[in-house]
Amino acid sequence: MFLDPHRNVHKYRDRLPHWHQDDTGVFLTWRLADSLPKSVLDQYKALRDDWLCRNAKPWSMEQAIEYNRKFILPLEAKLDAHHGECVLRSRQISDIVSGAFHYFDASRYQLEAYVVMPNHVHLLIILRHPFQLDQVVQSIKSYTAKEINRALGKNGKLWQRGYWDRLIRSEQHLTWTREYIAKNPRGLAPGHYRLWGV
Residue 128 in 3-state DSSP?
coil
Task: Kindly give the pairing relationship between strand 109-116 and strand 194-196.
Answer: antiparallel
Q: What's the gap between Cα 81 and its chain centre?
A: 16
Q: Write out the H or E segment, with its range, that includes residue 196.
A: strand 194-196
pTM for the full model?
0.81
d(CA 129, CA 22): 5
Domains along the chain? 10-35+84-196 (3.30.70.1290)
Model pLDDT, residue 1? 81
**Which tens digits make up the pLDDT trace of 82-126?**
778 999 999 999 999 999 999 999 999 999 999 999 999 999 999
More confident residue, 188 or 59: 188
Per-residue pLDDT averaged across 8-37, rounded?
82
Model pLDDT, residue 12? 66
**Which tens digits make up the pLDDT trace of 153-188?**
999 999 999 898 999 999 999 999 999 999 999 989
Model pLDDT, residue 15? 58
Contact 27, 169 (CB under 8 A): no
Residue 86 in 3-state DSSP?
coil
More confident residue, 164 or 142: 142
Q: Which residues contact 27 (CB under 8 A, 6 or more apart)?
A: 122, 123, 124, 165, 166, 168, 177
